[in-house]
Amino acid sequence: MNAEALMADGLDDAFCGMVERFGSSPVACYDTQKVLEIFVERDGMSMDEANEHFQFNVLGAYLGENTPVFLVNMSEE
């Protein structure tokens, strides 16, 4: 486990687990589709608004090597 891994506030229901790769510490992984659904249901956004908010404010918020990653589940598309 990586004690310095950053977690995304308010997105617990979209948390998938931790991911790791050789030479890097584990980081938190979130399901992108579930994140979007949280924004729609919790915050009253349209899906387009949720996607724009996600792209700019979540995915675009790189805070270093401990920043979470976001899974696009290809089996759901």
pLDDT (tens digit, 9 = 90+) per residue, 38-58? 999 999 999 999 999 999 999
User: Is residue 64 in a domain?
Assistant: yes
User: Is residue 5 in a domain?
Assistant: yes
Tokens of 4: 């310095």
User: Is residue 57 in a domain?
Assistant: yes
pTM over 0.85: yes
User: Is residue 19 in a domain?
Assistant: no
Residues of the chain under the 50 pLDDT cut: none
Please tell me the predicted confidence (pLDDT) of residue 77: 58
Please tell me the predicted confidence (pLDDT) of residue 27: 98
Query: Phi first, then psi: what are they for 8, rounded to 5°?
Result: -85, 120
User: Is residue 56 in a domain?
Assistant: yes
User: In total, how many domains does the chain have?
Assistant: 1
Rg (CA), the chain: 13
The domain of 42 spans 1-11+31-77
Please tell me the predicted confidence (pLDDT) of residue 45: 98
User: Is residue 60 in a domain?
Assistant: yes
DSSP E strands, 1-77: 15-19, 27-31, 69-71
Please tell me the predicted confidence (pLDDT) of residue 76: 64
User: Is residue 26 in a domain?
Assistant: no
